[in-house]
Amino acid sequence: MMSFQKDATVVFVHGAWGDGSSWGTVINSISEAGLKVVCAPIPMTTLSDDIAAVQRVIERIDGPVLLVGHAYAGAVIAGAEDSKVKGLVYITALAPDEGETVAEVFYRHTPHSEAPQLAPDKNGYIWIPHEAFSKAFAQHAKADELVRLEAVQRPIHVSCIQEKSPAPAWKKKATWFLIAQEDRMIVEKTQRFMAERMNATIRSAPADHTPSLTLPKAVVDIVLEAAQATLTN
């Protein structure tokens, strides 16, 4: 077991349409390595609200923190300002620069042919269509896993992807990026552009948009690599 600093904690932040259970396949592996684990819930009402929610979680932690964000949560973890945060890990995540919106980086390149057409409902919330779970969101998932993904789906408000991002923490903190090569929601070309712009340590895997579920070892490996570099004694 690695020797981590006292109360060293990995904070996982879920992406759009998910919740903390999206990290369920990797939590125990991270804990068994000797780290504390927290899954930060975000309301997905505005980007500012989501950043504030993560900051409240960080405030409750005594030791150093590694933030791990999936998809939309990449924008969220980059906005969390706290000296306890020692590094950022992006799991096929979105990384807008200061003044950019999530939508701008999400739609930077032509979407995958199987990607769903997304539009807000009358209340401004965006939901994933039923057929998109098996075609684009998690095409490598098993049938029972797809049922659970759809059952726990939480919508994201359009405000989240239209709000301009603050100055991102990835400009001054150590950053890692797992590129999911078979992601049909955020195409590989877009992921690589963001990862290279961030000067992140890049790892790649033949994963779909939900690698924590369908290829958890790749997620565990990059999180522990980042933790070893930022949270050890």
| DSSP codes joined into one string, 122-178 | TTSEE---HHHIIIII-TTS-HHHHHHHHHT---EEHHHHHSPP---GGGTSEEEEE
Please report, as a single letter, which amino acid is at residue 79. G
CB under 8 Å to 207, separation ≥6 — which residues? 92, 140, 178, 180, 181, 182, 183, 214, 215, 218
CB under 8 Å to 91, separation ≥6 — which residues? 68, 69, 70, 71, 178, 180, 211, 212, 219, 222
Tens of pLDDT, residue by residue over 173-210, are 999 999 999 999 999 999 999 999 999 999 999 999 99
Strands 125-126 and 156-157: antiparallel
Q: Is the pTM of this model over 0.85?
A: yes
| Inter-residue contact 106 to 51 (CB < 8 Å) | no
Residue carrying structure tokens 């690698």: 211
Lowest-confidence region among 17-21, 25-29, 109-113, 160-164 = 109-113
If one counts every other C-beta atom within 10 angstroms of the C-beta of residue 155, the result is 16
Report pLDDT for 1. 63
Distance, C-alpha 49 to centroid of its chain: 16
Tens of pLDDT, residue by residue over 63-104, are 999 999 999 999 999 999 899 999 999 999 999 999 999 999
Residue 192 host element (H or E):
helix 188-197
Distance from C-alpha of 35 to C-alpha of 227, rounded to nearest angstrom: 9
Report pLDDT for 111. 80
